[in-house]
Homo-oligomer: A and B are copies of this chain.
Amino acid sequence: MSKNLTSRAEDYSKWYNELVVKADMAENSAVRGCMVIKPYGYAIWEKMQAELDRMFKETGHQNAYFPLFVPKSLFEAEEKNAEGFAKECAVVTHYRLQNDPDNTGKLRVDPEARLEEELVVRPTSEAIIWNTYRGWIQSYRDLPILINQWANVVRWEMRTRLFLRTAEFLWQEGHTAHATKEEALAETIQMNQIYAKFAENFMAIPVIEGMKTESERFAGAVETYCIEALMQDGKALQAGTSHFLGQNFAKAFDVKFTNSEGKLDYVWATSWGVSTRLMGALIMTHSDDKGLVLPPNLAPIQVVIVPIYKTEEQLEAVSEKAQSIMEQLRKIGVSCKYDDRTTHRPGAKFAQYELQGVPLRIAIGPKDLENGTVELARRDTLSKQSVAMDDLVEVVDGLMTEIQESLFNKALDFRNTHITEVDTFDEFKDVLENKTGFISAHWDGTPETEQQIKELTKATIRCIPLDREEEEGVCVYSGKPSKGRVLFAKAY
């Protein structure tokens, strides 16, 4: 199968699309811009969900569920948020179909069943949630509210790509309410840090923590924090965002509380989310021309065992050994699969598991049984070694950690060698065209300059890194004074 995969050098975008489909992760559906997430892709998403959910609960958050629909009058209450999403809203206008009198056997929208008020399919849930929080909050004793929701959302994007940009996607959205600005800000930053930890430790994706410029902020936010990752083609990908919403939504939905001094004040808010877009980041960070490469933490199958045999007796002997290995590996928490299908040759199986990114492959044949060894192959390095049966569990256990770390370090090296400091606009354009990656450059702080650079180069300011150093300089484009460098890149 992998023979047919377009190489990254040939056409990166085509490579990505083919990989997602051929590795059985997702495919396009009959609904424009909406994808079907297939079992193998969904199993990876479930692993992400489980770890994030654990991290959220560990920091005091609880899950809840709010309606899919937002009445138009609520949707428009926070004006900037509404303005930001109005152009990409799926709108429910009717609640019934009827037989089409002009077309036997077909249905049509029943014109009598028009809703009095249109319902927007949530593109994000601040409006419906803050309208609900109004009923939950009277005093500072009711705060903080620390809630997360796992849900589907819809944004009617014009150009869509599997996982990266789809009309419907799955995500989690945290929505918290606080008594003070300081507390809400601390929550915003904490959640961005959780996303960074998750991306780095669990997904093996190095990220830069930063803040968005005004023009890249979430619609309705006072400040947007983000984590930015770098894909193998040198384009950046925003992997998670955490928003400090100030009192904007509390004011729009009239959510006031009595503070500890007995005074009425508006509640402070945050919201934060990551989505199935992370699947795209995962694929584009680690994979190669043979297919998906998965860090062990995210692999639905961590070890696959393939039998090599000619006779029935050989298969039986190998199978017995394979069962015993699986038992031992499962005991140490490693998930395994034994592929004894008789309909496929070993070579085809090898190719399939390479395509699907299974971290380790064990092949066992009659010779191995004689010698008390197995052949162990790493997906990330494509290297093979012969391992004594007696050492196997320990070796596999060690490799789970080693592969996880090695993938992170490889991605980190690539990322670090693709942050280029430039001081002139010529350099800027040169790096963007010939080297790609992040460009660290001075910027005068105006949306006008940002906009002009974007129009000229398609590069946007990905973030103002949280750890940037104060440094006097001049804007790479306008020559005006600047107090520090920001990161530009072309982005997904």
Contacts and interface: CB of A to CB of B under 8 A. Distances in A.
A398 interface: no
A68 B107 contact: no
Interface residues of A, number: 64
A52 interface: no
Contact of A31 (B46, B71, B151, B152): B71
Given A30-B74, A39-B147, A128-B29, A91 B86 contact: no
Contact of A65 (B30, B31, B37, B92): B37
Contact of A88 (B76, B96, B154): B96
A463 interface: no
A43 B70 CA distance: 24
B67 A31 contact: yes
A63 interface: yes
Nearest to A151: B152
A69 B98 CA distance: 18
Contacts of A31: 67, 69-71, 119, 128
A82 interface: yes
Name the residue in A65, A98, A99 with the highest tally of chain B Cβ atoms < 10 Å from its Cβ.
Answer: A65
Contact of A109 (B74, B91, B105, B107): B91
Given A62-B43, A95-B91, A67 B34 contact: yes
Contact of A63 (B43, B89, B119): B43
A386 to B, nearest CB: 33
A310 interface: no
A91 B89 contact: no
Contacts of A168: 67-69
B91 A76 contact: no
Name the residue in A67, A71, A79 with the highest tally of chain B Cβ atoms < 10 Å from its Cβ.
Answer: A67
Name the residue in A36, A135, A168 with the highest tally of chain B Cβ atoms < 10 Å from its Cβ.
Answer: A36
Contacts of A93: 91-94, 109
A131 interface: yes
B67 A36 contact: yes
Name the prevailing secondary structure of the A interface residues: mixed
Interface in A143-197: 147, 151-152, 154, 156, 168, 170
A368 interface: no
A331 interface: no
B76 A107 contact: yes
A97 B120 contact: yes
A156 B105 CA distance: 22
Contacts of A147: 39
Contact of A34 (B46, B69, B88): B69
Contacts of A88: 95-96
A75 interface: yes
Interface in A22-47: 27, 29-31, 34-39, 42-43, 46
A141 interface: yes
Contact of A86 (B62, B107, B118, B119): B107
A36 B125 CA distance: 12
A64 interface: yes
A115 to B, nearest CB: 9
Interface string A52-67: 0000000000111111
Name the residue in A71, A82, A95 with the highest tally of chain B Cβ atoms < 10 Å from its Cβ.
Answer: A95
27 contacts: A30-B71, A30-B128, A31-B71, A31-B128, A35-B67, A37-B65, A42-B62, A42-B64, A46-B63, A65-B170, A68-B152, A68-B154, A68-B168, A69-B90, A82-B97, A82-B107, A86-B96, A86-B97, A86-B99, A88-B95, A88-B96, A90-B92, A90-B95, A91-B95, A93-B93, A121-B121, A152-B152
Closest 10 CB pairs of A and B: A39-B62, A34-B67, A37-B65, A86-B97, A95-B156, A91-B94, A31-B67, A76-B107, A93-B93, A90-B92
